[in-house]
Amino acid sequence: MVVKLEPVGTEEYARDVLPDTFELWGDGRSYERYVEDFLAIASSVYGKRRPFTIGLREGGALVSSCKNYDRELRWDDLSLRATGIGAVFTPKPLRGHGFAAAMLGALLDAERDAGRDLAFLYSDIHPVYYERLGFFTAPSRLFTLRADALDGSPSGARPLEASDWAGVRRCFEALDRARAWSFRRTPLVWDWMRRAWNAPLPAGSQPVRLAVKRGRSLIAYAIGRRVLRDDTFVVDDFAYDGDDGRAIVPALLRAGAGDLRRVGGWLPPEPARDAFGRGSVRARKNGILMFAPLSPLGRAWWRENEAAIRGGRADATWSADHV
Ligand SMILES: CC(C)(COP(=O)(O)OP(=O)(O)OC[C@H]1O[C@@H](n2cnc3c(N)ncnc32)[C@H](O)[C@@H]1OP(=O)(O)O)[C@@H](O)C(=O)NCCC(=O)NCCS
């Protein structure tokens, strides 16, 4: 079989794929919101840099599809070109014929030929499926802790204002410099993340965007959602700058929780993971991080970091990295 990967137009994808994937990935949103969120990213500068949705056709019909986007991975002073894969989907009647495997194989070949160093994805199915295609699984966990176990002193947190975003970025970068490698948050990536965080939330969730300043400098921030049904402040992103910033994190997360009982979310990478109390940690069933090195540089990165990633007490990426 000659496998040909093709871009799938935004309209075609919205018309032919989204109705089938809504049940899986709607995540409490209305169908209209699900489509709107897809169109927002697909038509953003970030989504338009390359065909954002691609697929495999047979006899003109789309038999498998996925999303595909670029990220840069910083490793010390090196930059690696990473290709992100998401929303791998084959319509039910067509499953089990090898369409998704053929699409992913062709995509990895094309990305390797285009000079990309590694591929990554966040799997919602048993990772063995992607391991057969050459991906490695990285620990992927959730944390939960009792809000009243966190420092209850006043944090001085204030709602994040539009003018605070430059400070948020500086704060994240200060923390990120302590890491040997990470996905780089370029201005385009920040735009995309802000857009995702600013989108209206499903009923029963309230947005939380808090910042702590010392003088005019932002020293810590936390972004997430209060999910009332789960009695939990779900933390999507936070960072701190300096010892003062780090010391305020527990009180900041407690302020984010308000009167909810729990704080939780994806286990953040080191060193952020150590900025709050221990709580309980368990494996995630969704969003399991996987990597496939593609180039000699990608393989060198994996060889040198594999033990720390696999054996680490923290996850390797932030939940905000999951597009
Ligand atoms: C996963 C999926 C894309 C596979 O598509 P496909 O075209 O049938 O894939 P292939 O023919 O290449 O592979 C079929 C294999 O997928 C495996 N598979 C399907 N669902 C799986 C799951 N939840 N966990 C692990 N493997 C799974 C099957 O076991 C099958 O293996 P087998 O043929 O040895 O029994 C398809 O089942 C699908 O669209 N599922 C719903 C969307 C989804 O969850 N996507 C994954 C997002 S990370």
Query: What does the pLDDT read at residue 45?
Result: 83
Identify the residue whose C-alpha is closest to ligand 1 atom 26: 129
Any idea which residue has 């498998």 for tokens? 64
- Distance (Å) from CA 95 to ligand 1 centroid: 7
Q: How would you write the pLDDT of the chain (323 residues) with one tens digit per residue? A: 567 899 999 999 999 999 999 999 998 888 998 999 899 889 888 888 889 999 999 988 999 999 999 999 999 999 999 999 999 999 999 999 999 999 999 999 999 999 999 999 999 999 999 999 999 999 999 999 999 999 999 999 999 999 999 999 999 999 999 999 999 999 999 998 998 898 888 889 999 999 999 999 999 999 999 999 999 999 999 999 999 999 999 999 999 999 999 999 999 999 999 998 888 999 999 999 999 999 999 999 999 999 999 999 999 999 999 97
Which residue, by CA, sits nearest to atom 42 of ligand 1?
89
Q: Whose CA is nearest to atom 10 of ligand 1?
A: 98
Cβ–ligand 1 distance for 126 under 6 Å, the answer: yes
Tell me, yes or no, if the pTM score tops 0.85.
yes
Domains observed in the chain = 3-140+285-321 (3.40.630.30), 142-283 (3.40.630.30)
* Whether residue 97 has its Cβ less than 6 Å from ligand 1: yes
Test site for ligand 1: of 85, 88, 129, 133, most ligand atoms within 8 A of the Cβ:
129
pLDDT, residue 203, reads 87
pLDDT of residue 305: 98
Q: Which atom of ligand 1 is nearest to the CA of 63?
A: 7
> Residue 319 C-alpha to ligand 1 middle, in angstroms?
24
Expressed in angstroms and rounded, the spacing between residue 176 Cα and the centre of ligand 1 is: 35
Q: Please tell me the distance between residue 125's alpha carbon and the centre of ligand 1 in angstroms.
A: 8
Ligand 1 centre to CA of 108 (Å) is 17
Q: State which of 64, 68, 95, 140 you would mutate to test the pocket of ligand 1, scoring each by most atoms of that ligand within 8 A of its C-beta.
A: 95
Ligand 1 atom closest to the Cα of residue 128 is: 25
CB-ligand 1 contact for 96 (6 Å cutoff): yes
Question: What pLDDT was estimated at residue 21?
Answer: 97
Please identify, by atom number, the ligand 1 atom nearest to the C-alpha of residue 97: 11
Q: Is 288 in the pocket of ligand 1 (CB under 6 A)?
A: no
The whole-number pLDDT of residue 75 equals: 98
Give the tens place of pLDDT for each residue, 221-236. 999 999 999 999 999 9
Report pLDDT for 29.
85
Residue closest via CA to ligand 1's atom 28 equals 96
